[in-house]
Amino acid sequence: AAKRAGRNAYAVFSPSMSRSVLEEAQQRVDMELGLEQEQFVLLYQPVVDLATQRTTAVEALVRWQHPEDGLLSPYQFIATAEANGLIVPLGRWVLREACAQLARWRRETPAAAGLKVNVNLSARQFQYAGLVADVAAAIGDAGIPAGSLTLEITESMLMEDITGAIETLRALRALGVRLAIDDFGTGYSSLNYLKQLPVDIIKIDRTFVEQVDTDADDVALVDAVVALGQALRLQTVAEGIETEGQWMMLRQIGCDQGQGYLFGRPGDAASVPGLLIREPAPAEL
């Protein structure tokens, strides 16, 4: 169907070439209604300290409870939302909901006092001139400390316009929020750029973690990224940890934190307080 829509369709709708223009248009209408009717939901996945296994943060991951198509993953609608611009209001909703939810956990659960929340930004949202104001409003309205919000961005979002990106990152950081580079290693940022970026955290992409317990090349790569993080005084977070073997290797390498099915799949907001209840440390017994 995409082929029949003609060559221009490729240029305009390149993020999801597998779908027809008509389907894209229909999804836009559905999405506007979905935003109005609050069909989007956030799931939260724990980010743990690799030494203690304690949950330090949760990453908000959006889903769309579509009235006909069921629960949709971000891969099924984020690219369309990017293309049609609805990512800006959708992203704003994610930001506000994640901050409001963090405030609820902090109010209701003593163990959530130091919990942080991570929110993913999309390219278009990052370029949107109102982003800094949106972030400030989300934090302010929720009444959470700015330092408890981490915004995740990818290397490719930064490289399009590095000067403008650094300016936006500085403005966000001036609010007090923390910044993470997501999927690190899959983009093409040079060491020179990385040094200039005002960021706090590097998230090592799952593709490097997958075989870190079996492949010596991957050990060397992850080791190099962790060393780089230490040299630049950045925290390192490994994504997609599924096995004890991966966990042990990453601990040995000195990676600070991790995320993955081994520690917890994305779950609804009600599942988060249970992640925070832990065995008392020996000193507390």
Name the residues that contact Mg ion, by CB under 5 A: 120, 152, 182-183, 239
The least distance separating ligand C2E from the CB of residue 203, rounded to whole angstroms, comes to: 7
Q: Decide if residue 200 touches ligand C2E (CB under 6 A).
A: no
CA-only gyration radius of the chain, Å: 19
**Interacting residue with ligand C2E among 30, 240, 269, 272 (CB under 6 A):** 240
What are the CB-based long-range contacts (under 8 Å, 24+) for 85-88?
85/124, 86/28, 86/31, 86/32, 86/35, 87/122, 87/124, 87/125, 88/124, 88/125, 88/128, 88/130
The least distance separating ligand C2E from the CB of residue 61, rounded to whole angstroms, comes to: 4
**Interacting residue with ligand C2E among 48, 236, 260, 275 (CB under 6 A):** 260
The least distance separating ligand C2E from the CB of residue 184, rounded to whole angstroms, comes to: 10
For the window 97-126, what string marks contact with ligand C2E as x by the rule CB under 6 A? Answer: -----------------------xxx----
74 in Cβ contact with 63 (< 8 Å): yes
Please work out the total of residues on this chain that contact ligand C2E, with binding judged by CB under 6 A: 23
Residues 93 and 81: their CA atoms lie apart, in Å, by 13
Q: Decide if residue 158 touches ligand C2E (CB under 6 A).
A: no
For the window 20-59, what string marks contact with ligand C2E as x by the rule CB under 6 A? Answer: -------------------------x--------------
Residues 229 and 80: their CA atoms lie apart, in Å, by 34
249 in Cβ contact with 213 (< 8 Å): yes
Q: Decide if residue 250 touches ligand C2E (CB under 6 A).
A: no
Q: Which does 122 bind (CB under 5 to 8 A by kind): Mg ion, ligand C2E, none?
A: ligand C2E
Region of 145 on the Ramachandran plot (φ > 0 left; ψ -120 to 50 alpha; else beta): beta
Q: Which does 30 bind (CB under 5 to 8 A by kind): ligand C2E, Mg ion, none?
A: none
Looking at the Cβ atoms of 58 and 219, the one nearer to ligand C2E is 58
Three-class SS of 111-133:
HHCCCEEEEECCHHHHHCCCHHH
